[in-house]
Amino acid sequence: MKMYKHSMLVVSLFSILALSGCQFSGDKKDGIVDDGLIINSISIGLGGSEDLAETVVNYNFNLWNRTDRTFLIKTVEPIITIDLQDRLIDKNIRLDINKNVHGNTSKALSGTFRLNTKGLDKEGIMKLEINVKEFKVTTEQVIGVE
């Protein structure tokens, strides 16, 4: 009986350790950074233009490289709703950046696009919910043999 209790205790401890090891392994995997680029702040500004039928949208954001590698940021394009895309005056809102973001640093990026807001008053423009929360970022990096 004493041997049985001892065996059950050992099996229980191994089970707990195995489950803990699996959990720890999963946590470690979650900590791996694939691309390591994140946006840690965004600001949006709306303004008028000389043409009263247009609204200028200015955006600024910080692109942070959490890795120790350098990335070449090729282009940046704000992701906007279909409704806003239909109102774009210039359909090409992609910016050519071609700047390096070194490891563990950030780069401030900004751009503008113009919307056709003809016939809308201030309230109508606000109802468009002009917001930019995501960007399509194309990068290039050099990878070597380790």
Any idea where the domains of the chain sit in the sequence? 1-32, 37-140
pLDDT of residue 1: 55
- What is the C-alpha to C-alpha distance for residues 59 and 97, in angstroms, rounded to an integer? 15
Beta bridge partners of residue 39, listed in sequence order:
63
Cβ atoms 55, 125 nearer than 8 A: yes
Give the type of residue at 60.
N
Token pair for residue 78?
């704000």
Residue 12 has pLDDT above 70, yes or no: no
Q: What is the CATH number of domain 37-140?
A: 2.60.40
The pLDDT tens digits of the residues spanning 65-112 come to 999 889 999 999 999 999 999 999 999 999 999 999 999 999 999 999
Which of the 8 DSSP states describes residue 94? P
